Amino acid sequence: MNRLVVLSGVPGSGKSYFSKTLKTKRYTHLYIISSDQLRALILHNQQNLSEDALIWKIFYGLAKTFSVDHNGLVILDATHTLKKYRYANVKQFRKLYDEIDLIVFNIDKQTVLEQNMRRLHPIPEDKLLGIIDSFEDPDEEEQAFFDHIYYVTGHDVQEIIKNYIE
């Protein structure tokens, strides 16, 4: 069974930590597609948004490519803070994946601000607060679309990771 997992959360909420932790537990058929890593690779700066259309074309193109692995687990590591980025871009994969899950990183604001400051490239606090304030929780349409929706509220990623270990 192939699975697609969409990570959703503001910068500094633990999405990449989740991906890195999962990588230490599952060694095969795991594909982590990170928007930050694509920007760093292609634009030589993970905060460079100048070629976003290209980055997202590659990002979702890789998800399509990796769908051919019938035992694959594909992680989409990006903010996906708004429904239009979660649902509209991901619904195209319904026929390609046996299961599509959403993991929402619902971390308190103070923790996010602290974790942001520990990042290699912290986001300015005023910009981060704007992203936090505009975050959209999954609505009924998304709840019907995704096979599972998991919520991370703290350091409880290990319980969720158990769902994705072979």
How many Cβ atoms from other residues are within 10 Å of residue 60's Cβ? 17
The pLDDT of residue 157 is 86
Four-point Cα dihedral 82, 37, 146, 131, nearest 10: -20
What integer is the mean pLDDT of 9-35?
93
CATH number attached to the domain at 3-164: 3.40.50.300
Is residue 14 predicted with pLDDT exceeding 70? Answer: yes
Q: How confident is the model at residue 38 (pLDDT cuts 50, 70, 90)?
A: very high
User: Tens digits of per-residue pLDDT, 125-164?
Assistant: 999 999 999 999 999 999 999 999 999 998 778 889 999 9
Are 68 and 89 in contact, with CB atoms under 8 Å apart? no
Beta-bridge partner residues of 103: 7, 150
Q: What is the DSSP string of 120-135?
A: SSPPPHHHHHHHHHH-
The pLDDT of residue 165 is 87
User: Tens digits of per-residue pLDDT, 61-106?
Assistant: 999 999 999 999 999 999 999 998 899 899 999 999 999 999 999 9
Distance CA 113, CA 165 (A): 30
